[in-house]
């Protein structure tokens, strides 16, 4: 079966690259270009590579995933996370065995359910956004405290004279 690659926007921050078929030879370029295109989206913060419908993946495609993971995470302007979903839980699934053989899970988060991956990533964004709001509020309070302290010390100096 020839490789089909679909890219879909999950929400403003998550893009999914779904591969269907076999990722071999000339199809490696098509697969890699889809990952690069998703990663180049400025609004995207996470790229999900869905390998659930992939029957076979060659070492070049594995190398492309690992390379793009490095490039996306080290992008100084807009670092991104890359995760893999493989819903095919059949114990002798070739893709699953390749992922385990190369120990990709040590570098890239692997999910066995697409919806669970989206939910977990979205939950992490919600927690992050909340944390950023708390930090911003703390900075505002610190600035107010500094300006109040500054006013108080100026008033004390003025009264001494």
CATH 3.30.530.20 fits 4-123, yes or no: no
What percentage of the chain carries pLDDT values higher than 90? 40
pLDDT confidence band for 13 (50 / 70 / 90):
confident
Each residue of 77-87: pLDDT tens digit?
Answer: 778 899 999 98
Residue by residue, what is the 3-state secondary structure of the chain?
A: CCCEEEEEECCCCEEEEEEEEEECCCHHHHHHHHHHHHHHCCCCCEEEEEEEEEEEECHHHHHHHHHHHHHHHCCCCCCCEEEEECCCCCCCCHHHHHHHHCCHHHCCEEECCHHHHHHHHHHHHHHHHHHHHHHHHHHHHHHHHHHHHHHHHHHHHHHHC
For the stretch 123-156, pLDDT in tens is 876 766 667 677 777 777 777 666 665 555 555 5
Looking at residue 28, its pLDDT comes to 87
Which pTM value belongs to this model? 0.75
Taking every pair of Cα atoms in the chain, the longest distance, rounded to a whole number of angstroms, is 89
pLDDT tops 70 at residue 161: no
């Amino acid at each position: 079966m020839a490789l089909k690659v679909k890219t879909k926007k999950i929400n403003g921050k998550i893009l999914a690259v779904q591969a269907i078929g076999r990722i071999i030879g000339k199809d490696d370029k098509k697969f890699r270009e889809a990952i690069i295109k998703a990663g180049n989206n400025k609004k995207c913060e996470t790229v999900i590579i869905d390998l659930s419908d992939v029957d076979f993946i060659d070492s070049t495609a594995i190398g492309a995933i690992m390379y793009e993971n490095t490039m996306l995470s080290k992008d100084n302007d807009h670092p991104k996370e890359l995760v893999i979903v493989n819903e095919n839980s059949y114990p002798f699934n070739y893709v699953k065995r390749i992922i385990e053989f190369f120990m990709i899970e040590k570098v890239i988060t692997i999910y066995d359910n697409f919806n669970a991956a989206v939910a977990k990533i979205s939950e992490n964004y919600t927690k992050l956004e909340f944390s950023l709001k708390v930090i911003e509020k703390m900075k505002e309070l610190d600035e107010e405290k500094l300006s109040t302290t500054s006013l108080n010390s100026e008033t004390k100096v003025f009264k001494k004279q």
